[in-house]
Amino acid sequence: MNWETLLNQELWIDLAVILAVTFVCYWVLRTVLNLIAHRLDKVATNAQGSHARILGFATEMLRRTSRFLLFAFSLLIGLKAAELPDRWAAMLSHGWFIALAMQIALWLDGGVRLWMESLTRDGKTRNPVTTTIIGIMLRIVIWTMMLLSILANLGVDITAMVASLGVGGIAIALAVQTLLSDVFASLSIGVDKPFEIGDFVVFGDVAGNIEHIGLKTTRIRALSGEQIVCSNTDMLRQFLHNYKRMDTRRIVFKFGVTYDTPPDKVRQIGGVVREIVEAQNQTRFDRAHFVAFDDFQLTFEVVYIMLTSDYNTYMDVQQEINLALLQRMADMEVDFAFPTQSIEFLGGRFPEVTVAGVASAQPANDNGPRLA
């Protein structure tokens, strides 16, 4: 042991200066970070919407600053206060970068974790699989970039490593391209949100509620009770009707009256229909018109808007409208049309018809009798 080195007064003075600067810097950095976090928290409390959310994320990220890395950063500042050999100065420059890179990576990783927690804060995440996949991918990218940047700063040639990662990724992608297609479709569903868990959807001949959006498949509980499993890729390839996002319903229905209805009563029917529709709750009348001379009937077309998307409410309202139409048409002595057919019998004699055991026949007249 070199006792002369240990008894060197300058060495102990340098160590004392380094420790003093280190602890002072550590205290200053901790105080500044706490003040900034406290200030951001106050601003976030008074802010609203996405601005408040971003400020809240920044506050939590600052509060999750690593104390060990903060002390290492302070120590590096303290070492600057002493004269060091060139070898130690080179190591110190690498230490600055490593500490800063790791702290930035920790902040970004904390931001990703906070984003994932914010989506599940109420216990119900809209697409948990997609959220987890995106979170894992972002964290892998953050820590991979941090590791590569540190290796590059230390003088390691990372070109071959990056090339190997690229070639390996291409080989894996070709081997599992079908699975990756569904995985990226799941990510697309999570980001674009064409449907979410609980939505009622119809596509093709399938109708039901979304139960689960997975990594490869989406599961739907059909109206008949069974569970239908669909590929995520197939779900995005088809036209899909999402009825849960429907705020209103446009209802169109038709009815017909007989041809012997007087014109003045036909003219009144539109106003009667308007009164009936406007008397219902959660409806907005659009129009009611006599639109066509169809087979067997004079056709009316009615359009109104349901101010709710609930199907059962719509059916209740439509039933009340139908019942009111029956009553009002009966009061007006107007008959609803139904299919009828006329048969014209020309020449000859009617066939014998037995009624109560008595046969009767009528000769045909010149005009040709008609049976209706």
Domain 189-245 has CATH 2.60.450.10: no
**All structural domains of the chain with their residue ranges:** 9-174, 189-245, 249-331, 341-372
Looking at residue 161, its pLDDT comes to: 66
Instruction: Write out the chain's pLDDT in tens, 372 residues.
Output: 455 555 555 656 766 777 777 788 778 888 887 888 778 777 777 766 666 667 776 777 777 777 777 777 777 776 666 665 555 556 666 666 777 777 778 878 877 777 777 766 555 555 666 677 777 778 888 888 888 777 777 777 767 666 666 666 666 655 555 666 777 787 778 777 888 888 888 888 888 898 888 878 889 998 888 999 988 888 888 888 888 888 888 999 999 999 999 999 999 999 999 999 999 999 999 999 999 999 889 999 999 999 988 888 999 999 999 999 999 999 999 999 888 777 776 766 766 766 666 555 555 454 544 444
Contact (CB, 8 A) for 113 and 60? no
CA 307/CA 286 separation, integer angstroms: 12
Looking at residue 274, its pLDDT comes to: 95
- For 78, half-sphere exposure in the C-beta direction (CA atoms, 13 angstrom radius) is 22
| Fold match between domain 189-245 and domain 249-331 | no
Instruction: Assign 57 to helix, strand or coil.
Output: helix
Looking at residue 351, its pLDDT comes to: 66
Contact (CB, 8 A) for 78 and 21? yes
Count of all residues that appear for the chain in the document: 372
Q: What is the DSSP string of 125-144?
A: -S-HHHHHHHHHHHHHHHHH
Contact (CB, 8 A) for 74 and 100? no
End-to-end CA distance of the chain: 129
CA 317/CA 306 separation, integer angstroms: 9
CATH of 249-331, one of 3.40.50.450, 3.30.70.20, 3.30.70.100, 3.40.50.720: 3.30.70.100
Looking at residue 303, its pLDDT comes to: 95
